[in-house]
């Protein structure tokens, strides 16, 4: 967990905290609360709960983390493709640049990710030795697809669009949900 925070500079966690502060600030004050550099109580609570869930999942998964982590990270980042495709960009300031400005559509943007996923699935299908493990693996793939679509959809509907903070929140929430599903099914 700490290495992920160091690599990203805690950017996704900051987005999670800002998003939760914004959601609970109410519709009229949402963007102002998300823009505020101070973390509110809902942001802190979100961080604590997410961190505790991730730690519990990592303790359950243990040595399999080397296999589980990449797929959880994949789905977290893939979720932003749905987010950007489905929702309008919400800006805090007039000069901010949206991912939408350079967006080429979901099919083009997701092509490399889908190729990676298909290679990963093919490799797993060849190496899986039991039917029970195969069923768990396919179930987790379906959960990944579902969560990477469903979580940004909920956030986008609640917030009324997307921004960098909401994208960070989506990444963290999808990763954590995927960790949780792996911990349950392993």
pLDDT one-digit tens code per residue, 139-150: 989 999 999 999
Burial readout 109-144 (b: 16 or more C-beta within 10 A, e: otherwise):
beeeeeeebeeeeeebeeeeeeeeeeebbeebbebb
**How large is the average pLDDT for residues 88-94?**
76
Residue 27: the pLDDT is 87
Phi, psi at 103, each rounded to 5°: -75, 130
Rounded Cα distance between 58 and 182, Å, is: 10
Between 55-69, 89-103, 120-134, the lowest mean confidence (pLDDT) is in 89-103
Model confidence band, residue 186 (pLDDT cutoffs 50, 70, 90): confident
Where do we find the tokens 């469903």?
Answer: 150
* pLDDT band with cut points at 50, 70 and 90 for residue 174: very high
For range 127-155, the mean pLDDT: 90
SS3 89: strand
List, in sequence order, the alpha helices (H) in the chain: 2-8, 11-25, 30-35, 41-61, 65-86, 106-127, 131-159, 164-185
Residues of the chain above pLDDT 90, percent: 58
Instruction: Dig out the tokens for 118 from the structure.
Output: 């298909």
pLDDT band at 77 (very low <50, low <70, confident <90, very high): very high
pTM of the model: 0.90
- For 17-46, what is the mean pLDDT? 92
């Amino acid at each position: 967990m700490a290495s992920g925070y160091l690599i990203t500079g805690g950017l996704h966690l900051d987005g999670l905290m800002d998003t939760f502060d914004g959601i609970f600030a109410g519709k009229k004050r949402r963007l102002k609360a998300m823009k505020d550099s101070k973390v509110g109580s809902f942001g802190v609570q979100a961080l604590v709960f997410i961190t505790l869930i991730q730690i519990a999942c990592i303790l359950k998964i243990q040595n399999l983390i080397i296999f589980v982590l990449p797929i959880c990270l994949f789905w977290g980042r893939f979720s932003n493709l749905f987010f950007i495709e489905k929702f309008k960009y919400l800006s805090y300031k007039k000069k901010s640049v949206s991912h939408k400005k350079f967006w080429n559509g979901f099919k083009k943007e997701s092509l490399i990710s889908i190729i990676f996923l298909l290679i990963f699935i093919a490799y797993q299908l060849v190496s899986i030795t039991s039917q029970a493990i195969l069923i768990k693996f396919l179930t987790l793939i379906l959960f990944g697809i579902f969560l990477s679509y469903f979580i940004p959809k909920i956030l986008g509907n609640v917030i009324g669009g997307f921004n960098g903070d909401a994208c960070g929140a989506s990444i963290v929430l999808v990763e954590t949900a995927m960790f949780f599903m792996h911990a349950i099914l392993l």
